[in-house]
Amino acid sequence: MEDITPFLLSLLSKPGISGYEESVSEIIADRWRPLVDELTISPLRSLHGLRKAATNERRPTLMIAAHMDAIGLMVKTINHGFFTITTVGGIDPRVLPGQLVTVHGKKELPGLVQLMPDRLLNNETASKAPTKNQLFVDTGLTQKELADLVKPGDLISFAQPPFEMTGGYIAGHSLDNRASVAALTLCLEEIKNYNLDCNVVAAATVQEELHGIGAATSTFSVRPDLAFAVDVTFAKGPGSNDYRTFSLGEGPAIGLGANNHPALTQKMTSLAEELDIPYFIEAMPTSSGTDGMAMQITANGIPTQVLSMSLRYMHTSVEMTSLKDIARTGRLLARFITDLNPDSFSKLFEEKTL
């Protein structure tokens, strides 16, 4: 199997902010084209890659979905060459000072998010945690040099280039959720030479960071018999050590709780045991906070399972995850697919009741 790292690094070098995913969608499409039978784009611009069963008979359809959009910023106002900003998706304003960004105006301009120096603030606002309204973007260019290059509504993406860490880890912006896109890609590669007894739709969905919009619409179109939402979850790290967090690089997390169909949770757990893939059970008492939420309640209801890779520093420019966990997730999905046929599908739901 090909090393997924170069592809992942290229995914992490693209903006693809929610609602504007084309830049990342294009390179996913190029990579998936030889791996699927049909590649289509939904009205909201999610990418669907279909692997057909090796028969014309009716076969169950499995959807594996990972959102490809990323959080970002947007120009709100322009004031003496500086831009005030708003956020697209959930970003902690406290991680923004000192972030290099790209301003997507008429041309792409390097910029820097910063906060007002204390000496220009009053006692109530100085030295405080920065809020969205106090931050601005500086391109280093004067209002005159900027001319009409930038207007309110222009997108601003993180410019931090991705980089490899020691011993099989990677850091960069938008590993949430392009790590999962990489896992889906590995899965498609692994099943490439198999004759399938089920249909598989790999979906790179849009606008997850704005409430699973792509996942809801894609699931409606595909109307799968069962679905996996592949996403990232929290790794243990500074200030992050409770039940919601998992040791980084020590296996994917299999969701358990209302958003997950118990039969699928059970099946994934036994597959992981069988394949000797380390895993965690991720307790999801109410909501998974992933595409799985929207997928499960689509049409007349879709049995759904959430599968996650743990990641440190979610929603920052230096998210960090494990290449090994990406590969493990891809393998788990591939094995589930090659095991799936009409018989195993009906057995899956025979004994389990909700």
Partner 1 sequence: MSPQTKQVLRVGKAQLDLLEELTNANGVSGNEIEIREIIRKKVAPFADEIKVDGMGNLLVIKHAKKPNAIKVMLDAHMDEVGFMIVEEDGDGLYEFEHVGGGDERQFVSKPVSVGSQKLPGVIGSKPIHLASEDEMNAVISQQGMRIDLGPAGKGKAKRGDYAAYATKFIRSGDAIFAKALDNRLGCATLIELLKTAPEHIELLAAFTVQEEIGLRGAKVAAYDFYPQMAIAVDSTPAFDFERPDGNENTEYNCKLGGGPAIYIADRGTLSDPRLIRFLTQVAEENKINYQYRQPGGGGTDAGALHLTRGGIPSVSVSVPGRYAHTAVMLARISDWQDTLNLLQQALAAWTPEILSGDRA
153 binds partner 1 (CB under 8 A): no
The nearer residue to partner 1, 164 or 339, going by C-beta atoms, is 164
CA distance 60 to 83: 51
**Considering the complex, what minimum distance in angstroms separates the CB of residue 155 from partner 1?**
17
* Nearer of residues 58 and 80 to partner 1, judged by Cβ: 80
Q: Does 239 contact partner 1 by CB under 8 A?
A: yes
Residues 41-80: x where in contact with partner 1 by CB under 8 A, - otherwise, as a string: --------------------------------------xx
| Binding segment (CB under 8 A) for partner 1, from list 10-18, 191-199, 239-247, 253-261 | 239-247
- Partners of 172 in the beta sheet? 319
Handedness of CA 296, 259, 178, 59 (dihedral sign): negative
CB 27 to partner 1: min, Å: 23
Residues 6+ apart with CB under 8 A from 346: none
Tally of CB atoms within 10 A around 166: 5
Contacts of 37 (CB under 8 A, 6+ apart): 50, 51, 52
The footprint of partner 1 on residues 184-223 (CB under 8 A) is: none
Give the pair of three-digit tokens for residue 208. 């997850």
DSSP 62: E
Alpha helices in 102-247 (DSSP H): 143-146, 175-190, 213-222
- Burial string for 59-80 (b: 16+ CB within 10 Å, else e) reads bbbbbbbbbbbbbbbbbbebee
Amino acid at 270: S
Per DSSP, the residues of 326-344 read HHHHHHHHHHHHHH--HHH
- Is 129 among the residues that bind partner 1 (CB under 8 A)? yes
- Which residue, 174, 268, 215, 167, is CA-closest to 45? 215
- One residue of 39, 74, 78, 141 binding partner 1 per CB under 8 A: 141
Applying CB under 8 A, the span of 12-20, 57-65, 133-141, 331-339 interacting with partner 1 comes to: 133-141
Q: What does the per-residue mask of binding to partner 1 show for 313-332, with x meaning CB under 8 A?
A: xxxxxx-x-x----------
Instruction: Work out how close the CB of 222 gets to partner 1 at its nearest, in angstroms, rounded to a whole number.
Output: 28
Identity of the residue, 135 or 198, whose beta carbon is nearer to partner 1 in the bound complex:
135
Position 301 contacts partner 1 (CB under 8 A): no
119, 286, 350, 354: which one contacts partner 1 (CB under 8 A)?
119
Which spans of this chain sit near partner 1 (rule: CB under 8 A)? 79-80, 82, 90-92, 94-95, 97-100, 109-110, 112, 114-117, 119-122, 125, 127-130, 134, 138-142, 145, 160-161, 163-169, 171, 234, 236-240, 242, 244-245, 247-249, 289, 312-318, 320, 322
